[in-house]
């Protein structure tokens, strides 16, 4: 992965330490392992961030931060990946998770109404919730593990490519 590109967009720990709303986390923000950009820390950050993003739970950013702290992976990356499920993408993603859960539980999936409303969701919640939870957990595990593997492979490929370029430049200088 292009480490310089990631570093350009990541906030600095000093900047976050100065914010009044984050003072209670001062001791966590100082941990250098939460800011490291390595193949392992970035791969695990993708795994944590995407896993939490695909779960239908409140306070996803807090859960992702706690997961990043537990696995000692990149904190800003794991917290920012939670925004994959934003208000625009959330209905589509959770409906997909629900359909997967209904298929796994071998229950008939409810079709989306023409007009989605909170009243419809509240009325059907008892029927929807088991399939949504099972589907969300299964999809989150699969996407989390695949993203970790993919990031590690891409990172390794980038490093090998960089080594080959460097070796090629050295050979050209000697010739």
pLDDT interval class at 5 (50, 70, 90): low
pLDDT for res 15: 62
Taking the model in full, what pTM does it have?
A: 0.78
pLDDT digits 0-9 by tens, 121-169: 778 788 889 999 999 999 999 999 999 999 999 989 988 998 999 989 9
What's the mean pLDDT when you consider all of the chain? 84
What number of other Cβ atoms are within 10 A of residue 71's Cβ?
17
Average pLDDT over residues 87-98: 89
- Asked if residues 74 and 111 have their Cβ atoms less than 8 Å apart, the reply is no
CA distances from 96 to 53, 67, 110 (A): 14, 24, 12
| Number of domains the chain contains | 1
Distance CA 81, CA 67 (A): 13
pLDDT for res 29: 62
**Percentage of residues of the chain with pLDDT beyond 90:** 41
pLDDT for res 110: 76
pLDDT for res 146: 97
pLDDT for res 7: 61
pLDDT interval class at 109 (50, 70, 90): confident
pLDDT for res 10: 64
pLDDT for res 148: 96
- Asked if residues 155 and 43 have their Cβ atoms less than 8 Å apart, the reply is yes
Residue 112 reports pLDDT greater than 60: yes
pLDDT interval class at 113 (50, 70, 90): confident
How many CA atoms, within 13 angstroms, populate the side-chain half-sphere of residue 120? 8
Average pLDDT over residues 86-113: 87
Owning domain of residue 139: 2-173
Q: Which H or E element spans position 48?
A: helix 39-53
């Amino acid at each position: 992965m292009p480490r310089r590109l990631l570093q350009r967009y990541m906030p600095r720990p000093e900047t976050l330490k100065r914010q009044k709303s984050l003072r209670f986390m001062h001791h966590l923000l100082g941990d250098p392992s939460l800011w490291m950009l390595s193949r392992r820390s970035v791969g695990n950050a993708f795994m944590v961030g995407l896993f939490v993003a695909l779960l239908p739970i409140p306070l996803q950013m807090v859960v992702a931060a706690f997961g990043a702290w537990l696995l000692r992976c990149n904190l800003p990356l794991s917290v920012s990946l939670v925004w994959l499920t934003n208000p625009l993408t959330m209905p589509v993603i959770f409906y997909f998770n629900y359909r997967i859960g209904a298929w796994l539980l071998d229950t008939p999936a409810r079709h989306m109404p023409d007009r989605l409303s909170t009243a419809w969701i509240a009325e059907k919640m008892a029927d929807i919730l088991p399939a949504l939870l099972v589907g969300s957990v299964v999809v989150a595990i699969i996407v989390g593990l695949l993203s970790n593997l993919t990031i590690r492979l891409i990172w390794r490929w980038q490093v090998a490519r960089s080594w080959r370029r460097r070796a090629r430049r050295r050979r050209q200088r000697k010739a």
